[in-house]
Amino acid sequence: MPGTVIVGTQWGDEGKGRFVDYLAEQSSLVVRYQGGHNAGHTIVVDGEVFALQLVPSGVLYRHVTPVIGNGVVVDPAVLIAELDMLEAKGVDTSRLRLSGNAHLIMPYHTELDRVTERYLGQNKLGTTKRGIGPTYADKALRVGLRVQDLLDAKIFRQKLDLVLREKNGVLAKVYNRLPLDADEICATYLAMLPRLEPLIDDTVHLVHEALDAGQEVLFEGAQATYLDLDHGTYPFVTSSNPIAGGVCTGAGVGPRAIERVIGVVKAYTTRVGSGPFPTELADGDATGEALVERGHEFGTNTGRRRRPGWLDAVMLRHAVRLNSCSEIAVTKLDVLSTLPELKVCVAYEGDDGKRYEHVPYHQSVLHKVRPVYETLPGWGGEIDGATRVEDLPPEARDYLRFVEELAGVPMTFVSVGPSRDQTVVMPRAA
């Protein structure tokens, strides 16, 4: 089965989209399997920037069928706005296929997300307030509305009336908010059906037809390993499963359909929002500021500044194991070019002096560990013009070799700039 998964090995923002875009050229389908419009991919093609939120990156190739799988939560207004943006740039979006089983983000989801974060105060989780968590919660509670419900106005209204009884009660009695109007919601959502209906499909069947025919299928998720609901730094996580295993439920395929799992790792580390970050560089640190500035470390959708830090190989090793990565791909190596020396965290030290070479499972330990670094020399020159590994300075090659050894799997791709063609293919992957 020729399935390939692209998965982030950190807290997201690793630049997964550029490798999805790179590999999509050889693929028939590119399938998004989880998350919502709380994360995005930025792709640069011929100098033009595409900031994608819901539409899979493969849409930029005419031969690719982009698929939004059942594990994704969809705000239909956001999806339509994104389709309009792509069409305005000359991109054909008629090939997009949207799972009828994907859950809809409703107005009460976004409202509950906003008021809950406000209510938590200093203990807030740092969500994007876009209704993602409440939508997944309703999915688990079995009161969610799905894309296919839009196809029957009577069913849509019945389900909406039922769920609004509880949601309006919570909004009014707990958060002192005005109730939402069912007529208004129905009118707004059903008015979008003519645009969406041609795209709605049985995406599980579509994916399996492609796999059975021996076609290359690429699976992409949002966020990354350490934002996974089960395996991330809970509760500072997303509400779905970005790890490679999430493909099975989010796209409807079995484990044996997956041939390659490519773990994407940024040459340093960033995270958005709250939560532990062992290798974080403190606010005002000159190196951290340089990483943010050179790496343009601001959220694709929210514009939030990302917290910067050194590469954490302890996290990387664990992510490789959790995802069964067959290989890794490194992004933003060029961002490190001006630094005189580079640090890589190879282990943690606990308060009791214990050395950890794996990620501690206990939150109280993880929040207090100190990174154990190894220092490598920088290369002191720009590398954005490199097209082969031989074009990279020896120090850059040494850094990559060191990261590869720590990860324990081969490194197949390295990005040296934001554009599609700024990708160095490592010799064994050529």
Q: Annotated catalytic sites, by residue?
A: 13, 41
Q: Are 219 and 251 in contact (CB under 8 A)?
A: yes
Neighbours of 384 (CB within 10 A): 13
Question: Cα-flanking dihedrals φ and ψ of residue 32, to 5°?
Answer: -90, 130
Q: Are 55 and 17 in contact (CB under 8 A)?
A: no
Q: Are 24 and 41 in contact (CB under 8 A)?
A: no
d(CA 55, CA 69) in angstroms, rounded, equals 11
Question: Cα-flanking dihedrals φ and ψ of residue 294, to 5°?
Answer: -70, -30
**145-146-151 Cα angle (round to 5):** 105
Contacts of 170 (CB under 8 A, 6+ apart): 112
Query: Sign of dihedral through CA atoms 349, 352, 355, 360?
Result: negative
d(CA 110, CA 91) in angstroms, rounded, equals 29
Burial class from Cβ neighbours inside 10 Å (0-12, 13-18, 19+) for residue 250 reads: buried
286 — alpha (psi -120 to 50), left (phi > 0) or beta?
alpha
User: What DSSP string runs through 17-72?
Assistant: HHHHHHHHTT-SEEEE-SB-TTS-EEEEETTEEEEESSS-GGGGSTT-EEEE-TTB
Give SS3 for 405.
helix
d(CA 19, CA 234) in angstroms, rounded, equals 27
Give SS3 for 389.
helix
Q: Are 107 and 113 in contact (CB under 8 A)?
A: no
d(CA 172, CA 181) in angstroms, rounded, equals 13
Q: Are 270 and 307 in contact (CB under 8 A)?
A: yes
Residue 237 tokens, joined: 């996580």
Residue 383 tokens, joined: 């590398």
